[in-house]
Amino acid sequence: MLEVTVRGIILDDNNVILMFRRKNNKEYYAIPGGHIEENETKEECLIREIKEEYSIDVEIVKYLGVVKKGNKIDYIYKCKWTNGSLKLGGEEKERNSEENYYEIRRVTFADLNNIDLFKENLDMIKKAIDN
């Protein structure tokens, strides 16, 4: 079955706001977002998911494209932070533990090549920075 999600790249000065994860003894970074609920547009889903995960409001600036990995499709958007303070929330806060760790982090543009991030996601972040 196809898994469809939306993800938002949030740029803040010379930083990208990403979710740092530690799970199954692996550390990596992810672009925030999630699954589309019934009767919800991709854009509505993205705004809701970022509000739930990061406790901030965003405005969608631009659609950047699609990342396909196996049976998963991510629709990627560039977003602008409009209101609120970064604070872990939603399911991520509820599930947060030493074994399944979530932390919001600002990553400088210069450090993007030094973190564990899917190559396709890194390419989309670079596209967001350039556009």
What domains can be seen in the chain, in order of their start residue? Answer: 3-130 (3.90.79.10)
SS3 percent helix, strand, coil of the chain, rounded to 5, is: 30, 50, 25
In angstroms, the first-to-last Cα distance of the chain is 33
Question: Within 10 Å of residue 117's Cβ, how many Cβ atoms?
Answer: 20
The rounded distance, in Å, linking the Cα atoms of 109 and 113 is: 8
- What predicted TM-score, i.e. pTM, was given to this entire model? 0.93
The rounded distance, in Å, linking the Cα atoms of 124 and 126 is: 5
* 120 labelled catalytic: no
Per-residue pLDDT of the chain (131 residues; tens, 9 = 90+): 889 999 999 999 999 999 999 998 899 999 999 999 999 999 999 999 999 999 999 999 999 999 998 999 999 999 999 999 999 999 999 999 999 999 999 999 999 999 999 899 999 999 999 98
The one catalytic residue among 37, 94, 99, 103 = 94
